[in-house]
Structure 1
């Protein structure tokens, strides 16, 4: 089929540092002028069209300029561009605070809302939701407060924005490493070691292990030396010590903001607009799940401790075993347990997952399931040569009406690039005033292993799962079809945003899918049935300890956002990990400085990863389990979950998709093998 020409040109990624700042300032001034115009309207001329519609379109146009420019800081190899991008985001965030505090614009929203009601105007459901959310923005911003408090609130918000940006910048630009000898790295796969930088120290060869996931995680999982794993862990925990005081300041600012707005805690403020609705409901959910998981985790810990005791007895028969299980023991003995009980070796499994096969196959699976097609644009503008660019079309597209949007993939690690895997919705999809459409653009950033001299780039199975998960966010951003940009794609309640992608992780545990996306880098053979069976069985091995670790993060997040006063956050971080995760931590380190979620939009929201798993399990087992690759089910998913984005209540989307209200039975069956009733507060 001949390639079609997209109806919307792709963006350019050739900005200079000066252009990034100039374009940002220009967009801010244009948006400010529009707000001034709305503020100057006589109350009787405040209507849905003159206020809400005008603001919606102007905000979408502003974001279309600002979001791509602020993205450079995550991916550009040019420090000048990263710095300019970071500076531009400071301007955007400060302007966002200024905009949120404009009482003159808020008053016009109230006047328009009153006029709409008095005129008996009929709004569509999405229009009515736009009015509701825009007015709620103002009340949650504190515009009902007296002027003195509003001024104070504005300053606090601006400082909070700056602190969070500095935290994130440190996170992105962290480039430390820890050095080991070859003996100290015994057990780490040779293909991993060969990718480390090497040099001589005191006459012997040493290897620099960066804190990037593909470098240091194999040490956690494979290094036979407990001392090596301890040093690696403590280096990893302390890699962002400079962020600890920044987090302390952010938490203090959030407490002050919540108090000014009249909320008991920051968590109560944040959860008001989530599916969970309140901090007390979060607390109840986490405690309920921890109570159910703890006996399972204790049992699993004893099993892993037994493996460690046996290792100690073999290596140190004269020395008594101290009976301790440390955080740096967890990944290592989890792997050994799987290898022992299932004879499943990660190093063997990843030989079947070369990046060059997995990535296009996953794209093919998604294209078939969701009835779309990707066309790579080889000569398109990109921020780095490693990035790939695609135009995305409906599978049966015959003309420009079948255009879906653009997608970028930037998959390999490099210096000063965002260090994990995430998706950015750089452009939303929405209806333009003239009846045309503005199309979305999504970018996935990951850090997959690079090839070595001996082997192509290979993916451990957990990286395959992560890639499949993140592609779920990509398609949420591409296949949403809302009228207004603010409801597009992943602009859903934060405690639901992960559910679609978590549901899609299930494909990575389905035998037919595993066979389809595997191809041994030497023999080209798919995973054999016995190895697939072992992978599937490994999914719920030590699941109690895994989820207790997630609950540690969630509880730390909740506690720091419900506390009335500052405390020793390093001590809290280490104490909670030991009491909830059931692992000792050794020398307490400022691990909270590495908790990027807490400044990246998941403040008082990390519980959402576990909370949304309930919905993910229900969606998968109710609809997809019978035939995960059926395009008819893919269309049902598109129509009920992806298409509406945040334009309606998430419970309504779930009910349409499931044919009933969501419940937690599938999730509990996954964890415990049988129904244990409904988890609290769904």
Structure 2
């Protein structure tokens, strides 16, 4: 079989050949690439030369390059464009990859070589012997990035069981394989539950209060299903507007219950036992390595360092935020009483919060949406990247896509005169372009954007990469970055229009994307977003701040029909409403972080999932708990994604982003000198300790007061 995944990608910039890849290509490709990667490891292990940084650490960092690319392609599609066959392949491939990873990390001969190099570079030098010792490997001293790679490689092997005895190594491998399977199953169950529910409505009166553009969206969803009337789904662009605007309280309740029951219905997609199995396996894994809990294991490698520090951080914010949250909910309850509601429920929150927001600021999402056309918002984020970092975005049509809705862009650094389209030659190289009209520019990245919900796409928004940046053989190989969201599709009458929250979501994911786009490191495993997990949200949350800046907002907030700029009074209202319900939102985030830490600190206490969730989050809950719903069974961030024992990092990074943006505010939000320093922070990836990177940028450590001042004044 001619398998495009096993050949050199004959595409512009060696991008993924989506137009040639078929589902039957994946499994044989993984099988063959694992064999090739194993051979690369064997060559490192069996090299008769004395172990050096170059022939062990560096060689290992660059091994498995094609396997990484194919893995990125496959698992990104499993999130953005999946189907039953891809999910079936994922269940087969995930344990293969986990077993392959375990074979590397538990290879005694390989680890012996790594340890020899590590000990040599980290042991105190003998007097008069340092320079001779450092001459081995062709360099008198390791660079800072090389030293970081050496330390991270050694720690990575130790944390993957390299120092365990044979029986424990085997058990560690078994646990890792089981976790990969169960995490995948968790996500597949959530996706199935999301797709399996829809509400068919034939009487428009049931949808009173919902704006016409949303009704049109519901009509088109019904039409796609060959039904009359309206269809509401659990996809966020469908679900959130109903919860926000529907006057029909029973309808809001029905949708909220359906959403809250995902993975909690004692059916084939139930996630309750999976949660228990996942946390039990994680705990056993951590204890094999000598840690008290999985949270201790995870946090050792984060800025926070320990569960104690995280709990102190979360509780400090809880004490500060709870009075504000309680005051906000009290206002909503008074408003609900005017409608005869004596006991407000969680499914009432969005509806009355929107009512109160309109009363206080004379502002609602549907009123603002015509000013936030998706295309214009994207142009704005592109222009911001140009203003801060000198980046130009050129849409191209010759890069293969995995779906017709995806758009692709070349990203260049200034000078900004537009080049010609890339050569039609499909064999074009990674940096080679057709003759430009102006002086040649450096390609920084390829960008894929995918904005609308589909049956095969999981909910939410995320940034990922198909290929990391790295430097090898004199070439700076540039990254292929992807931004995936779930915004309302355009209708026959209107373009895709965003709520203001969706505007901030796009900026958030693009902040992550910039972390990847600007990457400028030697090694792929230290590149871009390969940083400590509680540092990774800084670039994303930082960029959201620009959405609230009047001088920037005016450049793109223009009515989709008239071209009218969003009036000053509405811009002021957006600014004034920035912290609306901030106390409630803070407690909600803190609740997620506290629950996450509880699962990964005290798994032995987990009996009934609902009871555990209620008990652990009671300090942050502001509404009565409904016995039919639970959040944990669809908490994909921690049971499928990489946020296990790390969900707190969203609030942690808010301290960083508030402090960082305050620096810009004090000196000009487009200040070129500060932007240049921030660009260094982004481009450095994981080559330095994140606190060192931050202090190099800011001149001091971040202050929690910056967040409190921004949130509560």
TM, length-normalised to structure 2: 0.88
Question: What is the Cα deviation at residue 374 of structure 1?
Answer: 0.9
Which of 124, 127, 130 is the equivalent residue of 2:143?
Answer: 124
Structure 2 vs 1, CA of residues 148 and 90 (structure 1 numbering), >3 Å: closer, same or farther? closer
CA contact (8 A) 1:362 1:517 kept: no
* Alignment coverage as a number of residue pairs: 654
Aligned twin of 1:417: 457
Deviations 1:613-665 (A, max 9, x none): 000000000134542234443322112x1111110011111111112222222
CA contact (8 A) 2:531 2:690 kept: yes
The answer to whether residue 355 in structure 2 is matched with residue 336 in structure 1 is yes
The answer to whether residue 184 in structure 2 is matched with residue 178 in structure 1 is no
Question: What is the Cα deviation at residue 139 of structure 1?
Answer: 1.4
CA contact (8 A) 1:493 1:646 kept: yes
Which runs of 5 or more residues in structure 1 are unaligned?
1-5, 313-320, 674-682
Query: Partner of 2:232: helix, strand, or coil?
Result: strand
CA contact (8 A) 2:452 2:486 kept: yes
Which runs of 5 or more residues in structure 2 are unaligned?
1-10, 126-132, 136-140, 265-269, 417-437
The answer to whether residue 368 in structure 2 is matched with residue 369 in structure 1 is no
The answer to whether residue 91 in structure 2 is matched with residue 71 in structure 1 is no
CA contact (8 A) 1:237 1:591 kept: yes
Query: Partner of 2:198: helix, strand, or coil?
Result: strand
The answer to whether residue 557 in structure 2 is matched with residue 518 in structure 1 is yes
Deviations 1:56-82 (A, max 9, x none): 111444322321232221223665455
Aligned twin of 1:246: 274
Question: What is the Cα deviation at residue 502 of structure 1?
Answer: 0.5
Structure 2 Cα separation of the partners of residues 401 and 83 of structure 1: 43
Question: What is the Cα deviation at residue 199 of structure 1?
Answer: 6.3
Write the mapping of 1:48-59 to structure 2, written as runs, cut at 5 A.
48-59=53-64
The answer to whether residue 502 in structure 2 is matched with residue 488 in structure 1 is no
CA contact (8 A) 1:7 1:400 kept: no
Structure 2 Cα separation of the partners of residues 331 and 361 of structure 1: 28
TM, length-normalised to structure 1: 0.92
Query: Partner of 1:580: helix, strand, or coil?
Result: coil
The answer to whether residue 154 in structure 2 is matched with residue 140 in structure 1 is no
Structure 2 Cα separation of the partners of residues 399 and 68 of structure 1: 33
Question: What is the Cα deviation at residue 85 of structure 1?
Answer: 5.2
Deviations 1:140-196 (A, max 9, x none): 112212111111111111101110111123334541333245333221222112212
Structure 1 Cα separation of the partners of residues 612 and 553 of structure 2: 41
- Say which is worse superposed, 130-139 or 664-673, in terms of deviation: 664-673
Structure 2 vs 1, CA of residues 420 and 141 (structure 1 numbering), >3 Å: closer, same or farther? same
Structure 1 Cα separation of the partners of residues 705 and 630 of structure 2: 38
Structure 1 Cα separation of the partners of residues 54 and 627 of structure 2: 60
Question: What is the Cα deviation at residue 205 of structure 1?
Answer: 6.0
Which of 225, 237, 247 is the equivalent residue of 1:224?
Answer: 247
Question: What is the Cα deviation at residue 12 of structure 1?
Answer: 1.3
Aligned twin of 2:692: 652
Aligned twin of 1:635: 676
- Say which is worse superposed, 519-528 or 624-633, in terms of deviation: 624-633
- Say which is worse superposed, 302-311 or 562-571, in terms of deviation: 562-571
Query: Partner of 2:531: helix, strand, or coil?
Result: coil
Structure 2 vs 1, CA of residues 436 and 114 (structure 1 numbering), >3 Å: closer, same or farther? same
Deviations 1:316-352 (A, max 9, x none): xxxxx53x33211221111111101111121111111
CA contact (8 A) 1:27 1:66 kept: no
Question: What is the Cα deviation at residue 310 of structure 1?
Answer: 1.4
The answer to whether residue 62 in structure 2 is matched with residue 40 in structure 1 is no
Structure 2 Cα separation of the partners of residues 399 and 436 of structure 1: 20
The answer to whether residue 385 in structure 2 is matched with residue 345 in structure 1 is no
Structure 1 Cα separation of the partners of residues 154 and 632 of structure 2: 35
Structure 1 Cα separation of the partners of residues 673 and 406 of structure 2: 32
Q: Aligned-residue CA RMSD in angstroms?
A: 2.2
The answer to whether residue 324 in structure 2 is matched with residue 257 in structure 1 is no
The answer to whether residue 403 in structure 2 is matched with residue 384 in structure 1 is yes
The answer to whether residue 119 in structure 2 is matched with residue 114 in structure 1 is yes
Question: What is the Cα deviation at residue 90 of structure 1?
Answer: 4.1
Query: Partner of 1:412: helix, strand, or coil?
Result: coil
The answer to whether residue 160 in structure 2 is matched with residue 161 in structure 1 is no
Query: Partner of 1:45: helix, strand, or coil?
Result: coil
Write the mapping of 1:311-460 to structure 2, written as runs, cut at 5 A.
311-312=339-340, 322=342, 324-396=343-415, 402-432=442-472, 434-460=473-499
Structure 1 Cα separation of the partners of residues 97 and 167 of structure 2: 24
